[in-house]
Structure 1
């Protein structure tokens, strides 16, 4: 199991932990399937009324897709198999509130999860960045998700600068990506405090409010995501070129944290 689930029957809060610390909580196919299954299960579990999502250890919340994952792609530029497309709670039609507790690095495919959480509580040591362009890849789904949560100039800079820059927790708070910044040891308690309040409210009202909030931007989000497969197919370097750039990453200068 690569996703750890802990339910507190007294509070109605479930804590979902990405449990691949040795891989910086990168998502492989098994993890993707477990996440999708977990969200679907919560839909029918009346004992779960709010969720905290986090990553094991302090180094990373999630570093996106595990690069060892190989997913054969169709030849058509109009379709693609994305291993992360169903890892978020909204993709599973879950409208119970999800609070993300971000510890360490959150980058690339982590934005599928952050993009479908209600709000983010961040450790002061967390950083946010999108490595795609550095490795010859189009940031499509990730950029679209973050464009729903960040000012355009900020998400454009993060998406385009690749591994050269990282967004600090402080800056993420200033631009509204993050709603609260805590000391590392206070991260989970702070996220749980909010989740327990949400779980204590009448669940029909909470879920209805979550659904209303998402309806405000869901049409534009879906229209933008529909363009992603073709943009990725047209703009990505061949896999072997991507792999070479990824291998060379250790010789790159240290990223600037702003």
Structure 2
């Protein structure tokens, strides 16, 4: 099978690279399956502190569904689960920070991948769009995330007109965290990874899950859930170590990194 996803371990981060540059890294069924499997593997590896999602080349991160290679039917699934849903679910279940390294245009399903990342840094030349209406469909799957991230009027305009955002606009609308010169993209990604690694793995894992759940709760349920989770975190081994390290003015020694377990 062709390796549509390159998997590389760099220190404590797992780098996943979309690897179909000849098709602008368009998503086909095999690629989506390999990507979902890679996120599932990352979720089960306690030594991995973060996942970086990027793509081969410097022009396109992902052009969305492969409309040519699969005869335009990549995500016309019938009763089968949409391949992009499998990827989204694997990303959501991966309770490690997912950092998008967006090296070029992210369109359609590619924009969906960006929106499913926890943090996203993009090269200044990147564009972000939903051109589906131009080929007779609509950005249904990716709307799941985008309606939670973009102002309604702005997203409606993107979806109805099919016109992209610049990287600067994507940053302004909080679709990405930061747009940087392409030559500085790797430096910024590595800096984010270093700062993530300095923090409690257990707190990041529990916190990512909590943020995901709390956004759809009522205020009262959110407060009750938050009270429960902060009590659980405050009594954890990593919280005790973090507070001791703060008092002793030293770097914390996280148990879940050294011992390979979670609270």
Instruction: Give the TM-score range, shorter chain.
Output: 0.7 to 0.9
Structure with bigger RCO (C-alpha 8 Å, 6+ apart): 1
Instruction: Give deviations 1:149-195, integer Å, cap 9, x for gaps.
Output: 11111111111111xx2200011111111111111111122122112
Give 1:41 shift. Answer: 0.5
Against the structure 1 CA distance between its residues 124 and 200, is the aligned structure 2 distance closer, same or farther, given a 3 Å change threshold?
A: same
8 Å Cα contact 1:85-1:112 kept in structure 2: no
Higher helix content, 1 or 2? 2
Q: Residue 133 of structure 2 corresponds to which residue in structure 1?
A: 133
Q: Residue 240 of structure 1 corresponds to which residue in structure 2?
A: none
8 Å Cα contact 1:33-1:87 kept in structure 2: yes
Q: Write the distance in 2 (CA, Å) between the matches of 1:62 and 1:112.
A: 10
Q: Residue 212 of structure 2 corresponds to which residue in structure 1?
A: 214
Which 5+ residue runs of structure 1 have no aligned equivalent? Answer: 221-258
Which 5+ residue runs of structure 2 have no aligned equivalent? Answer: 219-263
Q: Residue 194 of structure 1 corresponds to which residue in structure 2?
A: 192
Q: Residue 152 of structure 1 corresponds to which residue in structure 2?
A: 152
Over the residues paired in the alignment, what is the CA RMSD in angstroms? 1.9
Equivalent pairs, count: 212
Q: Given the two structures, how large is their TM-score scaled by the length of structure 1?
A: 0.76
8 Å Cα contact 2:16-2:51 kept in structure 1: yes
8 Å Cα contact 1:54-1:61 kept in structure 2: yes
Moved over 4 A (4+): 89-92
8 Å Cα contact 1:90-1:116 kept in structure 2: no
8 Å Cα contact 2:119-2:177 kept in structure 1: yes
Against the structure 1 CA distance between its residues 124 and 208, is the aligned structure 2 distance closer, same or farther, given a 3 Å change threshold?
A: same
Q: Residue 51 of structure 1 corresponds to which residue in structure 2?
A: 51
Q: Residue 60 of structure 1 corresponds to which residue in structure 2?
A: 60
Q: Residue 6 of structure 1 corresponds to which residue in structure 2?
A: 8
Q: Given the two structures, how large is their TM-score scaled by the length of structure 2?
A: 0.75
